[in-house]
Amino acid sequence: MATKKKLPKGDPGKGPPAASVPVDVEDAIVDARVALDDGLLEYLSSRLQLLGDKGPLPADFSDGLLISVLKLIAPDGKYAMEKGRFWQILDRYDPFSPWKPGDAIRARLASGIAGLLAAAENESFEDGFDSALSLELQRLVLRYGDTAVEIVSDLIFGNRVAPQVAAEALRCAGEMKNEGTQEARRRLLERALASPSHVTRDGAVIGLSHLRDPRTIPALEAAVAREDYRLLRANMLDLLEQLGGRQQ
Amino acid sequence: MTLVLRLIRQSRWDSPGEYDWLAEGEIPADALADFANTTQNCLSVWFVDDDQGNLDDVVAALAAAREKADKLDYMLFTPDHLKAAGIETRETDGRTPDEQINGRHRGLIHLSAAKVLELTTAVWRQNLGPRRVEERMVVQLVAGAVRNGRILLEKLRPKLRDDVRSCLDANRDEPRKPK
């Protein structure tokens, strides 16, 4: 159960005092929802006298607050945040319906993703932190769905992507929480288990460990059988065990 | 006696066996990347009890300082390698949400390129294994530290906090039996 939060003390007529810039937008969203649960409705009702006979539904306030926050953090908002992170948050609260682009847009998208992956060769990736590449890839996958995943796949398997960049893209593909593209992302990760680069294969295993889909067991078992990198093979076996696959 | 922990990327320390292109005494260059990324000729390491009794606490603290749940790769080795390479250490507070573990942080200071290479070579040849803690276990360790009061949930970044909160909720629900 949520803990009680202090409600803002506002000057009636002027609205609540200006809030400080949110340290993190997710905090702001979560705080807004928690505050609502804990009595914001009563607060707004008493301050603004919004309640009619039946009063507005809590969901109305919740959505209103959410939309206000999202406007602030949108790419052209007052507190604009990185595009990828914004789309990620938006998708979590209001899942996207991916858009199937036509040929011309697909070609432009492919060129854009190729440029993104090439530019990422100069990026340094750190475990436990989002990268510029992963944030932008997530945005593109949310917006263009399987098409974006297919383009990433074509580029990786066309040997046009540096192994460390491919590994980051694969990790990102596994980490995303987006059901609409789950199948395409799983196919990409399984295919990457056969990459000639052990760094790329490692990225695929990390991605699959995030995905946690037992349907990957046959692909993992085949990968274990041909893997000659000791630690990587052990990681594959660990994942197989967690997914309920047979030991080799 | 303590052990030294350094965060690495495991794939740099992996190999299919012997490299036939390496001359005697040489090591593959990839591993060097985990020790050569110095800042002001200084490198960050963590001291772990030699019985590894506080290893999980150190891993949890390191993971808790991140933005999101992710696998954590590290290398453990003995401080003999530091001594042999003539490397000085300095006590400097770590920056994790676990105040107690922050005291286990050390800076390897006054590093020359030669010392870094000597240390990497020694660690490549003799270590307690490059290890990986996978993402789910990382979340459990951080959740354990939160449950024990070592780390405050509020100090975690939102993405990680959500995962840790879910883990705590799941564990809380686990013992319940259906009515």
**Letter string b/e over residues B136-154, b meaning 16 or more CB atoms within 10 A of that residue's CB:** bbbbbbbbbbbeeebbebe
- Six-digit token string for A156: 């990786």
CB-CB neighbors (< 8 A) of B131 in chain A: none
pLDDT band at A50 (very low <50, low <70, confident <90, very high): very low
Q: Which residue has the higher pLDDT, A144 or A57?
A: A144
Dihedrals φ, ψ of B73, to 5°?
A: -100, 135
pLDDT at residue A201 is higher than 60: yes
CB contact under 8 A, A128 and B63: yes
Given this model, what pLDDT does residue A69 score?
Answer: 73
Task: For residue B56, count CB atoms less than 10 angstroms from its CB and return exposed for 0-12, middle for 13-18, buried for 19 or more.
Answer: middle
- Six-digit token string for B76: 């453990």
pLDDT at residue A107 is higher than 70: yes
A242 part of contact set with chain B, CB < 8 Å: yes
Residue of A nearest to B16 (CA): A229
Dihedrals φ, ψ of A7, to 5°?
A: -85, 150
CB contact under 8 A, B63 and A199: no
What Å distances lie between residue A52 and A56, A124, B131, CA to CA? Answer: 8, 56, 62
Residue of B nearest to A88 (CA): B159
Given this model, what pLDDT does residue A100 score?
Answer: 75
Between A128, A228, A229, which is nearest B67 by CB? A128
How far is Cα A145 from Cα B149, in angstroms, rounded to an integer?
42
Query: What single DSSP character describes residue A6?
Result: P
CB contact under 8 A, B134 and A230: no
How far is Cα A205 from Cα A239, in angstroms, rounded to an integer?
8
Crossing angle for the helix pair A182-192 and A146-157, to the nearest 10 degrees: 10
Dihedrals φ, ψ of A145, to 5°?
A: 60, -140
Question: Which 4-43 residues of chain A touch chain B by CB within 8 A?
Answer: 24, 26-27, 30
- Six-digit token string for A39: 């009595």
What is the rounded average pLDDT for all residues in chain B? 93
- Six-digit token string for B17: 């066996």
Tell which residue, A171, A155, A149, has the closest CA to residue A111. Answer: A155
DSSP-derived 3-state class of residue A127: coil
What Å distances lie between residue B108 and A11, B5, B33, B67, CA to CA? Answer: 55, 12, 16, 25
Residue of A nearest to B14 (CA): A231
Residue of B nearest to A229 (CA): B16
How far is Cα A34 from Cα B154, in angstroms, rounded to an integer?
14
- Six-digit token string for B113: 């390129």
Tell me the shortest Cα–Cα distance from B14 to chain A, in angstroms. Answer: 6
Given this model, what pLDDT does residue B151 score?
Answer: 97
pLDDT at residue B147 is higher than 70: yes
CB contact under 8 A, B68 and A232: no
Q: What share of chain B is helix, strand, coil (3-state, %, to 5)?
A: 40, 20, 40
Q: Where are the beta strands (DSSP E) in A78-157?
A: none
Between B7, B11, B158, which is nearest A24 by CB? B158
Domains parsed from chain A with CATH numbers: 25-81 (no CATH), 103-243 (1.25.10)
CB-CB neighbors (< 8 A) of A26 in chain B: 158-159, 162
Neighbours of A61 (CB within 10 A): 20
pLDDT at residue A211 is higher than 90: yes
Lowest mean pLDDT among A45-59, A109-123, B14-28: A45-59
Given this model, what pLDDT does residue B24 score?
Answer: 87
pTM of the predicted model as reported, rounded to 2 decimal places: 0.79
Dihedrals φ, ψ of A39, to 5°?
A: 130, 10
How far is Cα B156 from Cα A29, in angstroms, rounded to an integer?
16
Q: Enumerate chain B positions whose Cβ falls within 8 A of a Cβ in A.
A: 7, 9-11, 13-17, 63, 66-73, 130, 132, 134-136, 157-159, 162
Residue type, A212: R
CB contact under 8 A, A209 and B132: no
Between A27, A228, A231, which is nearest B158 by CB? A27
Q: How confident is the model over B77-134, as pLDDT tens digits?
A: 999 999 999 999 999 999 999 999 999 999 999 999 999 999 999 999 999 989 999 9
- Whether B108 and B87 have beta carbons less than 8 Å apart is answered as yes
The distance from CA B173 to its chain's CA centroid, rounded to whole angstroms, is 31
Mean pLDDT, to the nearest integer, of B47-76?
97
End-to-end CA distance of chain B: 52
- Whether A131 and A170 have beta carbons less than 8 Å apart is answered as no
- Six-digit token string for B152: 């405050």
Lowest mean pLDDT among A31-40, A116-125, A222-231: A31-40
CB-CB neighbors (< 8 A) of B14 in chain A: 198, 202, 229-232
CB contact under 8 A, B66 and A26: no
Task: For residue A14, count CB atoms less than 10 angstroms from its CB and return exposed for 0-12, middle for 13-18, buried for 19 or more.
Answer: exposed
Tell which residue, A245, A227, A209, A192, has the closest CA to residue B134. Answer: A209
Tell which residue, B69, B68, B140, B56, has the closest CA to residue B100. Answer: B56
A94 part of contact set with chain B, CB < 8 Å: no
